[in-house]
Structure 1
Amino acid sequence: MVIEGNEDTPRQVVLTEPTSLDGDSDAYKAPNLVRRILSLFINVRPGSDLTKFQLPPLFNIPKSHLQCFGESVYSVGKDLLHECNSEESSQDRFISVVAWSISTARPVVFGVAPYNSILGETHHVSRGSLNVLLEQVSHHPPVSALHATDKEENIEMIWCQNPVPKFYGTKVEAEVHGRRQLKLLNHGETYVMNSPSLLIRFLPPGLDWVGNVKIHCQETGLEAELCYLTNSFLGRRGPHSIRGRIYHSSSLETLYELEGHWNSIVTLKDINNGKETVIYNAKEVVSGLKTPIVKDPQGVLPSESAAVWSAVSEGILSKNWEKAREEKKAVEEKQRELVRDRNSRGQTWVPKYFNLSYNKEGGWDCFPTQKWVPPAPIDVPIGHAL
């Protein structure tokens, strides 16, 4: 979707459909994909940090990391957040939060990646009464902050994300550092969690979410341990697997066990009576996702992701790789000029919507500068298509 602006707004905004289970893995693939990918890493040593690694547009999808980060919150077919808030018991709310957390692990297209977000880039989108605002608060290291609020539901989310990708010969593993908080303010409950890592294998080709995720609610004493698993060496375990348990932090007594696949069905087993229930169906949540639309062109900031990268995205969508390459180079060079200008003035860049701090655990924390996120100029349609 392309929206033309005037002198008071970005000249162009390009919005593309969210990545979903419906499948768009062939949309941006280049020929001889695996060979081309491996050729990029000829001079990269195993174990190297790829944080500053730049991909040519041929290997980019037409959106930035910031947009993909935000999509995991606002691009949904079924509103799991409402279920988290509406459950009557603390245990049922916790189970719903676990299901919602699983829903934030989204399919990723093999062989291509989003643009590396530039410093100060923002992404502001609304879906119903949920308003979501993201900002790239650091470039080296890359740190993204998310603040989402829903006044009607009295819900708040504060996330801080710092991906650290490393190359290991035939694979890249991106550890996603940072804390995620979901606050159900009506119930006085805060749920703190982390994110799984993204594993990209070249031989054989494939990708998956892997690693351990812990979810904790201090007010109720409930915790969950989730383990994201991929293919085992002997093939005894399929890809996209997830298993875990919910327990009391005080007694460590297991209340529920869960297993399944994050891209299909996850079931929960009650240890007391053996009853099993489906707590997550990916098809309901991550299928039929709608492309956001611009409802207020004058409200779109020049720093908006879909505006910053619009010309690059146009080149990719039209497969005009020369245009995409030149426009991407222009975006990156403008950022270098801004850095040189700040350095010459002795200035330090300061985020607009977040305060950033380095915590004692060796990670980053982000604190929003406003209590409620305002409605956005970009909106996700709700309801069935006409």
Structure 2
Amino acid sequence: MGSPKKNEESKGFFAAMSSGLSMFSNAMHRSVNGMLGYEGVEVVNPEGGKDDAEEEAQRGRWRQEERDSYWKMMQKYIGSDVTSMVTLPVIIFEPMTMLQKMAELMEYSYLLDRADESEDPYMRLVYASSWAISVYFAYQRTWKPFNPILGETYEMANHGAITFLAEQVSHHPPMSAGHAENEHFTYDVTSKLKTKFLGNSVDVYPVGRTRVTLKRDGVVLDLVPPPTKVHNLIFGRTWIDSPGEMIMTNLTTGDKAVLYFQPCGWFGTGRYEVDGYIYNSSEEPKILMTGKWNERMSYQPCDSDGEPLPETEMKEVWHVADVPPNDKFQYTYFAHKINSFDTVPGKLLASDSRLRPDRYALEMGDLSKAGNEKSSLEEKQRAEKKTREAKGHNFKPRWFDLTEEVTPTPWGDLEIYQYNGKYTEHRAAVDNSGSIEGDVKSIEFNPWQYGNLSTE
């Protein structure tokens, strides 16, 4: 395909691109998109062979004409942050929200328990950094989670004695805050995703702050994850990669884990691979780590040059749990647990993600209803915002407070929200009131908070 002339309009450029891709597609074998399931240009499949692609086709929901229409719509957004400015069709979604996606980090929370129990400061980082890596197995799913409604929440109980709560604290820009706790650790996160749409791919920058406090000694760990890139968003087989450094720093001692996520090369070389070291406060390597974020991580003590110590061996610290075969959305057992009403306390907050009618309709396979419910929720959100602004009121989260702290990240400054402890009091009051009769699924989804704000 030749380059467009310099004086051509951008419309002509995209027409030329589409024409060239169409011609190329006719000359290639069939390929399927892992997220959308359409025919398109054949691309290198980082997962491997043809059988895998054919299996993905059985899960596809997006027809080629729908893909072409979407491509025309998205052309004008190239180079933009599309985090919340684009209304997306429900057929590309999974029946889970971003708040629930945040909770997937808790699947292997036992690694944080072990970090808290460990007396070796470097092994603490081995356990804790492996915990941070473990969630990437879930992140490789290419379905998109629903954007939370302002004021929406997600709570989880009955997993590792953890209480987990997340809340959507801002709509523009979209921001979420989360808190989890058990006897070994507390976990606090403020998340503000930033994206850059590049046509057939999108870069995702994790503008956030993640802090883990290990309770036994009060050690505070800070996590900076690598950015993520979604490849073949429209043409080809969609896949996700996260090349770059993950850094976890012990803010108490100065020790740190620096782990490099290898980029996926031609024919899948380097795919999933992670390598790096645990360093002391003097930046001397103490433990080397290696593995694949979709399989397992291992560690071995090393010398000051990073070479394995004699008479030591590589030991596994974490491996992926068994997963359901041929799952429609490529969910793990834990992901199904996140969507289940079995992981809720006796009475569920009406703002909980599980109760969203669009999410539930999609889970039941009713795409038409899911799309209509999604549009209805978005309209209600806009109406509430209009009314609130007309009254001169500001939105105020229920369970997290905006602090005066602004912290720098590699991708921009971040305002910090802090858990205010009110949910703990609320839950204790509910538990003391006795069990609530009735089906929890019958609770009407209600994240709207303007009524409460107007009385303050």
Q: Same fold (TM over 0.5)?
A: yes
Matched to 1:129, the amino acid is: A
| Conservation of the 8 A alpha-carbon contact between 1:25 and 1:110 | no
Q: Residue 193 of structure 1 corresponds to which residue in structure 2? A: 223
Which deviations, in whole Å up to 9, do the C-alpha atoms of 1:159-204 show, x marking residues without a partner?
1111112111221111111111110121120111122322111045
Match for 2:314 among 276, 280, 295? Answer: 276
- Return closer, same or farther for 1:204/1:193 CA change in 2, 3 Å cut-off: same
Equivalents in 2 of 1:296, 1:284: separation in Å? Answer: 23
| Conservation of the 8 A alpha-carbon contact between 1:197 and 1:211 | yes
Q: Per the alignment, in what secondary structure is the counterpart of residue 47 of structure 1? A: coil
| Conservation of the 8 A alpha-carbon contact between 1:135 and 1:145 | yes
Q: Residue 170 of structure 2 corresponds to which residue in structure 1? A: 138
Matched to 1:281, the amino acid is: H
Alignment of 1:219-298 (within 5 A): 219-232=252-265, 234-235=266-267, 237-249=269-281, 251-272=282-303, 273-274=309-310, 275-283=313-321, 288-289=333-334, 291=337, 292-294=340-342
Asked which structure has the greater RCO (Cα within 8 Å, sep 6+), the reply is: 1
Matched to 1:214, the amino acid is: I
Q: How many residues end up aligned between the 2 structures?
A: 348
Structure 1 unaligned residues grouped into runs of 5+: 1-22, 378-386
- Return closer, same or farther for 1:178/1:326 CA change in 2, 3 Å cut-off: same
Q: Residue 9 of structure 2 corresponds to which residue in structure 1? A: none
Q: Per the alignment, in what secondary structure is the counterpart of residue 417 of structure 2? A: strand
Q: Residue 4 of structure 1 corresponds to which residue in structure 2? A: none
Which deviations, in whole Å up to 9, do the C-alpha atoms of 1:126-163 show, x marking residues without a partner?
1242100101111111111111111x33x211111111
Q: Residue 184 of structure 1 corresponds to which residue in structure 2? A: 214
Equivalents in 1 of 2:276, 2:367: separation in Å? Answer: 44
Q: Residue 205 of structure 1 corresponds to which residue in structure 2? A: 238
| Conservation of the 8 A alpha-carbon contact between 1:142 and 1:162 | yes
Report the alpha carbon displacement of residue 350 of structure 1 after superposing the two structures with TM. 0.9
- Return closer, same or farther for 1:27/1:343 CA change in 2, 3 Å cut-off: farther
Alignment partner of 1:359 is 2:406: yes
Report the alpha carbon displacement of residue 267 of structure 1 after superposing the two structures with TM. 2.0
Q: Residue 172 of structure 1 corresponds to which residue in structure 2? A: 202
Match for 2:419 among 355, 368, 381? Answer: 368
Alignment of 1:53-202 (within 5 A): 53-73=86-106, 75-76=107-108, 79-108=110-139, 111-126=142-157, 127-150=159-182, 152-153=183-184, 155-202=185-232
Q: Residue 358 of structure 2 corresponds to which residue in structure 1? A: 312
| Conservation of the 8 A alpha-carbon contact between 2:142 and 2:240 | no
Which moves more between the two structures, 283-292 or 348-357? 283-292
Report the alpha carbon displacement of residue 336 of structure 1 after superposing the two structures with TM. 0.8
Q: Per the alignment, in what secondary structure is the counterpart of residue 107 of structure 1? A: helix
| Conservation of the 8 A alpha-carbon contact between 2:153 and 2:168 | yes
Alignment partner of 1:47 is 2:94: no
Equivalents in 2 of 1:323, 1:107: separation in Å? Answer: 27
| Conservation of the 8 A alpha-carbon contact between 2:140 and 2:239 | no
Q: Per the alignment, in what secondary structure is the counterpart of residue 275 of structure 2? A: strand
Q: Residue 438 of structure 2 corresponds to which residue in structure 1? A: none
Equivalents in 2 of 1:221, 1:41: separation in Å? Answer: 48
Q: Residue 11 of structure 1 corresponds to which residue in structure 2? A: none
Q: Residue 67 of structure 2 corresponds to which residue in structure 1? A: 36
Q: Per the alignment, in what secondary structure is the counterpart of residue 85 of structure 1? A: helix
| Conservation of the 8 A alpha-carbon contact between 1:158 and 1:366 | no
Which moves more between the two structures, 83-92 or 100-109? 100-109
Q: Residue 44 of structure 2 corresponds to which residue in structure 1? A: none
Report the alpha carbon displacement of residue 36 of structure 1 after superposing the two structures with TM. 1.8
Which deviations, in whole Å up to 9, do the C-alpha atoms of 1:2-49 show, x marking residues without a partner?
xxxxxxxxxxxxxxxxxxxxx997796314479728626543343211
Q: Per the alignment, in what secondary structure is the counterpart of residue 242 of structure 2? A: strand
- Return closer, same or farther for 1:163/1:324 CA change in 2, 3 Å cut-off: same
Equivalents in 2 of 1:83, 1:276: separation in Å? Answer: 18
Q: Per the alignment, in what secondary structure is the counterpart of residue 96 of structure 2? A: strand
Which deviations, in whole Å up to 9, do the C-alpha atoms of 1:297-329 show, x marking residues without a partner?
86211211111x2x2134323433221111111
Report the alpha carbon displacement of residue 284 of structure 1 after superposing the two structures with TM. 6.4
TM-score (norm 2): 0.69
Match for 1:332 among 365, 378, 383? Answer: 378
Report the alpha carbon displacement of residue 210 of structure 1 after superposing the two structures with TM. 2.8
Report the alpha carbon displacement of residue 288 of structure 1 after superposing the two structures with TM. 3.8
Matched to 1:200, the amino acid is: V
Equivalents in 2 of 1:217, 1:119: separation in Å? Answer: 33
Report the alpha carbon displacement of residue 280 of structure 1 after superposing the two structures with TM. 2.1
Equivalents in 2 of 1:80, 1:345: separation in Å? Answer: 48
Give the share of equivalent positions with the same residue, in percent: 25
- Return closer, same or farther for 1:371/1:111 CA change in 2, 3 Å cut-off: closer
Structure 2 unaligned residues grouped into runs of 5+: 1-51, 304-308, 324-330, 431-456
- Return closer, same or farther for 1:204/1:318 CA change in 2, 3 Å cut-off: closer
Equivalents in 2 of 1:147, 1:211: separation in Å? Answer: 26
Equivalents in 1 of 2:207, 2:105: separation in Å? Answer: 16
Equivalents in 1 of 2:388, 2:378: separation in Å? Answer: 16
| Conservation of the 8 A alpha-carbon contact between 2:122 and 2:287 | no
Report the alpha carbon displacement of residue 369 of structure 1 after superposing the two structures with TM. 0.6
